Chain A
């Protein structure tokens, strides 16, 4: 009995001493600020900053190799915390959100063929450039929704991706996942958008989509400074987005949407409260 206690105790003691020595000898110096910064980061490991996860970003911040406002999911609050820890001046973040520039769900937009296959936009795009007649419209198979680390994207029953302005942190992962380039990063403060991504001529657009931009120029005539029409497609000039709302009612195909008045039909997201901002703007 006593031998057992002694031998096990002895092994334990030796191992403890060895571990203690090893911990001293092989200790890795960690800048305490790095841990503090890591604590302040959202911990989504989304990669929007361009570093491998929040850990990599924290290390780069402490080493002075990264810009504090590179963390889009964190928003202004995180920037201020990081600036406080590192003792630098906080730069105002420019909060951006992703917007799906399309409202052509399966009721509104015509199909090129019946797609039966894998529920992935990139896979569908490979078959004759996607089942939608519109070359730029949302395919609604949810590649963006699956990749979103924040659950900010829903696919409506009629096959349209809608991005929540509250939940989107601006990490841009969906932008990279979309084969049709229909998701764009836009200023969070701008709530009015032309929800169309087809550069076809108006007559063509009318054939396949009930809510597409037909480049009629009415928006640009109504508010000259806030809209520009390029390649048969209207765009909001986001520097002047405050005035853009005046053209929403004038658009004959209703492809201009003010998100302050709600999301596209079919979305289950509650209408955003005014101002249409995320956490940071509230």
Chain B
């Protein structure tokens, strides 16, 4: 096995910090006293609420209807009473409409979920089951899965890539899922491949998870599913970088993976697809990693959607030190949170809790033209140039330097010795460019 591992151009290798939770089996998180289930947990139009204050709902009951194609429904994570439908703190930092639910403890399904044999269903029926179960990409971006499963007829899909890379430091939820629940993942893969009609299926895993690679290799033996070990480098798990590593081709600027005949789904998404079809269960829970130096007992937890972070912290034995930073997702791309009142949503791949000593915030300095951000950029753009244009409000120039190709992985900011907020500036430019395109 001295073969060189596959990878992409650029990127870097931040300290992994995965040792805290990598060996801890997934535990079921007990239900909190109150669930806050936001109606917007995916990219696209928020769901439209269809319950009211005082309603009794059962586990898995529809509480928000999808609005439009790029939208998915929202379901009750347990049985109980609707306390309110009102704006609540959301991981985006805003107050957004949410259904507040008080669990009744029975955790009872309305009608028992009906398992079906996916081999007897047509691709359209499978896609509809996935959509109505509210499945979105569980890697973090929460893009509705059925949209990625509906390529236009002129773009046939020949390759399905399954993302088990988990390149973000600290996070181990996908790692544990691959070790403990590979059967669900494989069922999901079979369903996804059936819907897409893909010939090649490949699971990509970073080489820092040898146990997961060995386990999946074993369970995939005899099937047509390949398992590929990838070089340990961030952002190996970004969609376009995974394609570059496993397919050897680059997604064109402004294009989508389906332009290459490729679709990428996360291992967690595959497991959720299996639940949606083979178990008839909507997406009401996910595996997430609770970790960070501020936490007494880090854990990998199976959490009901809508569980407030405060409850998770209690389940993990509380805090060792005063909290200085709460991050939903990984430290590279995750979003800082204002409080522990924020709930876990479908895209919450992890929760990272840091104390004052763990965050090294430096004062910003001047760019010394060292070019580290350029070398680290996996999209092969010039972060420093685009950021400079963004600061001058020269967004046309930023667009000319291909700001829109930025995947917001944060490698530039991470590598900058002058602590320039590069990725923030590029994101600012991207938002301004999009706003201008909408106006035109």
Give Cα distance in the complex from A6 to B92, angstroms: 79
Residues of chain B with a CB closer than 8 A to A27's CB: none
Which of B92, B336, B424, B431 has the most chain A CB within a 10 Å cutoff? B424
Residues of chain B with a CB closer than 8 A to A122's CB: 428, 431-432
B257 at interface, CB cutoff 8 A:
no
Give Cα distance in the complex from A128 to B326, angstroms: 13
Q: Which of these, A113, A117, A129, A147, contacts B424 with CB under 8 Å? A: A117
Give Cα distance in the complex from A119 to B363, angstroms: 13
A126 at interface, CB cutoff 8 A:
yes
Which of A119, A122, A128 has the most chain B CB within a 10 Å cutoff? A128
* Contact indicator A128/B92 (Cβ below 8 Å): yes
* Contact indicator A118/B94 (Cβ below 8 Å): no
Contacts A118-B391, A122-B432, A146-B393 given; indicate if A128 touches B424 (C-beta within 8 A).
no
* Contact indicator A128/B425 (Cβ below 8 Å): no
Residues of chain B with a CB closer than 8 A to A119's CB: 391
Give Cα distance in the complex from A117 to B427, angstroms: 12
* Contact indicator A128/B338 (Cβ below 8 Å): yes
Contacts A112-B338, A128-B94, A129-B93 given; indicate if A118 touches B432 (C-beta within 8 A).
no
Give Cα distance in the complex from A119 to B390, angstroms: 11
Give Cα distance in the complex from A112 to B427, angstroms: 21
Residues of chain A with a CB closer than 8 A to B425's CB: 118, 123
* Contact indicator A126/B428 (Cβ below 8 Å): yes
Which of A112, A118, A129 has the most chain B CB within a 10 Å cutoff? A118
Closest to A177 in B: B393
* Contact indicator B338/A120 (Cβ below 8 Å): no
* Contact indicator A127/B93 (Cβ below 8 Å): yes
Cβ < 8 Å to B, chain A residues 206-232:
none
B361 at interface, CB cutoff 8 A:
yes
Residues of chain A with a CB closer than 8 A to B318's CB: none
Residues of chain B with a CB closer than 8 A to A117's CB: 421, 424
Closest to A112 in B: B338
Give Cα distance in the complex from A119 to B93, angstroms: 19
Residues of chain B with a CB closer than 8 A to A118's CB: 387, 390-391, 421, 424-425, 428
Residues of chain A with a CB closer than 8 A to B432's CB: 122
Give Cα distance in the complex from A84 to B64, angstroms: 65
Contacts A118-B421, A129-B93 given; indicate if A113 touches B336 (C-beta within 8 A).
yes
Residues of chain A with a CB closer than 8 A to B391's CB: 118-120
Per-residue interface assignment for chain A, residues 105 to 121, with 1 indicating a CB less than 8 Å from any chain B CB and 0 otherwise: 00000001100111110
Give Cα distance in the complex from A123 to B393, angstroms: 11
Residues of chain B with a CB closer than 8 A to A147's CB: 393
Q: Which of these, A113, A116, A123, contacts B338 with CB under 8 Å? A: A113
Cβ < 8 Å to A, chain B residues 343-387:
361, 387
Give Cα distance in the complex from A126 to B390, angstroms: 14
Smallest beta-carbon distance A55→chain B, Å: 21
Contacts A122-B432, A128-B94, A128-B338 given; indicate if A116 touches B427 (C-beta within 8 A).
no
* Contact indicator A126/B427 (Cβ below 8 Å): yes
Per-residue interface assignment for chain B, residues 399 to 440, with 1 indicating a CB less than 8 Å from any chain A CB and 0 otherwise: 000000000000000000000010011011001100000000
Give Cα distance in the complex from A119 to B94, angstroms: 21
Closest to A120 in B: B428
Give Cα distance in the complex from A126 to B434, angstroms: 14
Smallest beta-carbon distance B46→chain A, Å: 17
Smallest beta-carbon distance A67→chain B, Å: 25
Which of A119, A123, A126 has the most chain B CB within a 10 Å cutoff? A123
* Contact indicator B431/A126 (Cβ below 8 Å): yes
* Contact indicator A128/B428 (Cβ below 8 Å): no
Give Cα distance in the complex from A112 to B338, angstroms: 8
* Contact indicator A129/B336 (Cβ below 8 Å): no
* Contact indicator A128/B421 (Cβ below 8 Å): no
Per-residue interface assignment for chain A, residues 124 to 152, with 1 indicating a CB less than 8 Å from any chain B CB and 0 otherwise: 00111100000000000000001100000
Beyond the given pairs A118-B390, A123-B425, A123-B428, 15 more chain A to chain B contacts, judged by CB atoms under 8 angstroms and listed by A's residue number, are A113-B336, A117-B424, A118-B387, A118-B428, A119-B391, A122-B432, A123-B427, A126-B427, A126-B431, A127-B93, A127-B336, A128-B94, A128-B338, A129-B94, A147-B393
A→B interface (CB under 8 Å): 112-113, 116-120, 122-123, 126-129, 146-147
B→A interface (CB under 8 Å): 92-94, 336, 338, 361, 387, 390-391, 393, 421, 424-425, 427-428, 431-432
29 A–B contacts from the bound complex (CB under 8 Å): A113-B336, A113-B338, A117-B421, A117-B424, A118-B387, A118-B390, A118-B391, A118-B421, A118-B424, A118-B425, A118-B428, A119-B391, A120-B428, A122-B431, A122-B432, A123-B424, A123-B425, A123-B427, A123-B428, A126-B428, A126-B431, A127-B93, A127-B336, A128-B92, A128-B94, A128-B338, A129-B93, A146-B393, A147-B393
